[in-house]
Structure 1
Amino acid sequence: MLWTALLLPPGPDATPPTDDQLRGLAIWALHLSPRTAIAEDAVVMEVEASARLFGGKRALRDRVVLEAADLGVQAIAWSSTSLAALAFARAGRENGIRGALTALLDPLPMDTLSAVRPHRTTLSQLGCRTPGDVRALPRGGLSRRFDKQLLVALDQAYGLRPEVHVWVELPEAFKVRHELMARVEAAPALLFAARRLLFAARRLLLQMCAWLAARHAGITAFTLRWMHDAMRPRGADPGGELTIRTAAPMRDVEHLCRLLAEHLAKTTLQAPAGDLELEALDVQPLEEASKSLLPDTSRQGESLTLTLERIAARLGPEKVRRPVVREDHRVEWAQHWQQAPQPLPKRGTRRNRFPQPTFLLPEPLRLAMDGHLPMYQGTLQLLTGPHRIEGGWWHRVQVGEAQCTRNVARDYWVARSPHAGVLWVYLERLAKDQTAWYLHGAFA
């Protein structure tokens, strides 16, 4: 088996990482391996079965090192047992798989194994400096003079006994709180902090995106909350919050960071912020894109949807609109404009067997008549039809102080004009004037 250990740095006054910090790191690790556990002051995960999924051990190692750095991980190590990986991480040695485990683990400092630390003074007086020295002592004497846990831990670290772990389970909802190491007085600093501290908002977003990856899901809304310092000015609120929405389900941490940065740049804090909280609001299943044998050049740049979201965050959602197709037989309402950050409606599979015009008039034009035939730059010749469209009784609009419906009852025809070409006309049904013909569009 292949294990990796993720070691967080100690807190102020050399205090170990908090339970919330370890829990957050473990949730992030679940998108890499379901066999993830909290072991002492670190997170360990068994990744033998995940290596092929992520492109091999080298690719998996590079990914873990890159992403874990943003989460504040101090050291990473790999070995064939979890306790050995943890010992290598404490010793600052990443590779614990290149060679025999005994030869690699024996020369490490003795206190890299937690079970040795309570007996460090006694073992030092016996001349032990490394795990190899401790292991060389007579087992009978060790079992009588020290507790049983020392021998068990040694055997488990060297792979002589099976290890027992309580696996971390993926929570049903994501809501994580993080205490800032320094108070923040400006909103942009919530996202862009010093490199050493690693900006806290990005750390929370990384954990959320990893949680989404483990659930094979994406998100269309999340909320970032900040809690003001207890010594806030009189009249200041206890905290504030910011809700971010996306047009489609996603878990792209880079885009979410850029989107959050645009909103935070326009936010003013009433008091210094001490804590952050990130909550996932709208989680939806995300369809994974299949891998391709050929390079996909269409995905190398930022998509139009992501670009529009960033522009809307900067200028305001009411300033950016895009056309959206609706499932509506009434052609003039089959397309409308909506705010860019809103989710796109799902499109059906309706197919129209009748010709559709290339150009539509803003408003249908009432046509003159030549007997029973309509006229437009000459008498029209009706080619195909009628194509009956009826609907819109549910569509109500406000006109002045009254409401009216957009119900239509029309028979459409494709017609030819002697001088204007092929046109799209309709006869208004159920009208007082039974000869109410209108020009609605033209074909290219």
Structure 2
Amino acid sequence: MLWVALLIRSKPSTPPPDDKLRGLTMYALQFSPRTAIVEDSVVVELEASVTLFGGRRALRDRIVAEVAELGVASLAWAPTSLAALAFARAGKENGVRGALASLLDQLPMDTLSAVRPHATTLSQLGCRTLGDVRKLPRGGISRRFDKALLTAMDQAYGLRPEAHVWIEAPETFRERLELMSRVDSAPALLFGARRLLLLLCGWLAARHSGITAFTLRWVHDAMRPRGSNAGGEVTIRTAAPMRDVEHLCRLLAENLAKVELQAPAGDLELEAVEVHALEEVSKSLLPDVAQQGESLTLTLERIAARLGAEKVLRPVVVEDHRPEWQTHWQPAPQSLPKKRARRSRFPEPSFILAKPLRLAMRGDKPLYQGVLELRIGPHRVEGGWWHRLRDGDNEATAIVVRDYWVAQSPLGAVLWVFQERLARDDSAWFLHGSFS
């Protein structure tokens, strides 16, 4: 598992307001639906999203670059959410480089909230770090302190599962922001508005939507001149649904340049006015024939011409008794062979291993997830005297003599196993494939 904890910047001993935490969840939802509020932070489980966002390094760099504008004081990564929160409080970002237990043991006790109520007693016992607390007898901890301490320690160290209430993206978006100081000119509103736009685009991504219109409102200072309005607003429209932060900021900047504030402004509000489902662009390397009107064959020929024929291969099924050589790979532009592969009446698996796996034995029974039960077989496969394999200066024939069986494991998996008849140990069994 991979968790990130986003710790909100706040005054010492003062929890951040709920609206800041809720707003930060709108941003985090674009990365994973497994987003939750834990104490004074937002935690996100990202293991399933790493590949989608270009790998751990690319995802980390993007989040670090963007959350600084959202009031995040620190962030950290770890295999559990409580561990990530503890690392964030300690100012240590990386909690995944090394063994979790040894890294957590070095952190101060107060990085885990459940330890804080007992900090005085634990200090008198000589504890200074989480590792010191973990060394205490578990029975003594459970009798002397409340259950929350032992539970939180186990959850942080990954010894007990964590439970979270996941945040769901609301149906509508309307967020407010109090500026750090009063703003006299409309273009200066863009600094705070960009923060709201980051939240908006995160909310749009979570809902797989784009926006064609949004409204930015501002509230004038209470000591405004007589006759001035309580506030103002500007509505931005786009030609097509989108959620690009930079583009929306540029559009907003162009419009704010034409606005003159009647009084200093202190509060902002951003509302999504027109939201539409956004048709996602396919990430496939292959073309959409219906949209582009180009067949797959022509596309492969064009790619092979650019990259070289040896870079674009396609599988070709050929007639061969031996499973390892029933599929050949050849340059895609070459024509397919005329002959077709022989079809066997014996069941053949959906997937085969690149190299057969030798199985452990219990007596004369093969083991895989337990003792295998042989269902169908044997089916003998022989051949290969004509096939020469060359490895440097050595040459050998690829002869196989195998008896294949369809077997079932105690867990219900249907497998393809065999014995070799010409091997020195003809009692050995091998796993060669599985049925979907």
What TM-score does the superposition give when structure 1 sets the normalisation length? Answer: 0.62
Structure 2: gaps (5+ residues): 287-436
Task: Please give the residue correspondences for 1:111-260 in structure 2 after superposition, counting only pairs within 5 Å.
Answer: 111-191=110-190, 199-260=191-252
User: Aligned residue for 2:39?
Assistant: 40
Q: Residue 203 of structure 1 aligns to a residue in which SS?
A: helix
Counterpart-to-counterpart distance in 1, 2:145 and 2:221: 48
Deviation per residue, 1:336-364 (Å, 9 max, x gap): xxxxxxxxxxxxxxxxxxxxxxxxxxxxx
Deviation per residue, 1:191-234 (Å, 9 max, x gap): 1xxxxxxx211010011011111111111100000111222222
Runs of 4+ in 1 over 6 A off after TM superposition: none
Counterpart-to-counterpart distance in 2, 1:240 and 1:122: 56
Q: Residue 75 of structure 2 aligns to a residue in which SS?
A: strand
Structure 1: gaps (5+ residues): 192-198, 295-444
Counterpart-to-counterpart distance in 1, 2:8 and 2:105: 24
Counterpart-to-counterpart distance in 1, 2:177 and 2:244: 21
Deviation per residue, 1:125-178 (Å, 9 max, x gap): 211100011111122222222221111111110111111111001100111111
Counterpart-to-counterpart distance in 1, 2:8 and 2:259: 31
Deviation per residue, 1:56-113 (Å, 9 max, x gap): 2222222221222222322111111000000011111111111111101001111110
Counterpart-to-counterpart distance in 2, 1:248 and 1:171: 22
Task: Please give the residue correspondences for 1:48-63 in structure 2 after superposition, counting only pairs within 5 Å.
Answer: 48-63=47-62
Q: Residue 49 of structure 2 aligns to a residue in which SS?
A: coil
Q: Residue 166 of structure 1 aligns to a residue in which SS?
A: coil
Give the letter for the 2:57 counterpart. Answer: R
Q: Of the candidates 266, 274, 284, which is equivalent to residue 258 of structure 2?
A: 266
Counterpart-to-counterpart distance in 2, 1:14 and 1:266: 43
Deviates more, 1:19-28 or 1:263-272: 263-272
Q: Residue 209 of structure 1 aligns to a residue in which SS?
A: helix
Counterpart-to-counterpart distance in 2, 1:19 and 1:72: 13
Counterpart-to-counterpart distance in 2, 1:185 and 1:118: 46
User: Aligned residue for 2:10?
Assistant: 10
User: Aligned residue for 1:337?
Assistant: none
Cα drift, residue 5 of structure 1: 0.5
Task: Please give the residue correspondences for 1:17-416 in structure 2 after superposition, counting only pairs within 5 Å.
Answer: 17-191=16-190, 199-291=191-283, 293=285
Distance change >3 Å, CA 206–CA 231, structure 1 → 2: same
Give the letter for the 1:210 counterpart. Answer: G
Q: Residue 102 of structure 1 aligns to a residue in which SS?
A: helix
Q: Residue 48 of structure 2 aligns to a residue in which SS?
A: coil
Counterpart-to-counterpart distance in 1, 2:234 and 2:69: 22
Counterpart-to-counterpart distance in 1, 2:90 and 2:262: 45
Counterpart-to-counterpart distance in 2, 1:118 and 1:184: 43
Give the letter for the 1:176 counterpart. Answer: E
Q: Residue 188 of structure 1 aligns to a residue in which SS?
A: helix
Counterpart-to-counterpart distance in 2, 1:154 and 1:174: 37
Counterpart-to-counterpart distance in 2, 1:116 and 1:233: 53
Give the letter for the 1:253 counterpart. Answer: V
| Identity among equivalent pairs (%) | 76
| RMSD over equivalenced CA pairs, Å | 1.5
Counterpart-to-counterpart distance in 1, 2:250 and 2:87: 36
What TM-score does the superposition give when structure 2 sets the normalisation length? Answer: 0.64
Counterpart-to-counterpart distance in 2, 1:124 and 1:172: 48
Counterpart-to-counterpart distance in 2, 1:184 and 1:145: 55
Counterpart-to-counterpart distance in 1, 2:51 and 2:128: 39
Give the letter for the 2:64 counterpart. Answer: V
Deviates more, 1:264-273 or 1:33-42: 264-273
Counterpart-to-counterpart distance in 2, 1:15 and 1:270: 35
User: Aligned residue for 2:400?
Assistant: none
Counterpart-to-counterpart distance in 2, 1:181 and 1:121: 37
Counterpart-to-counterpart distance in 2, 1:176 and 1:161: 36
Deviates more, 1:44-53 or 1:56-65: 56-65
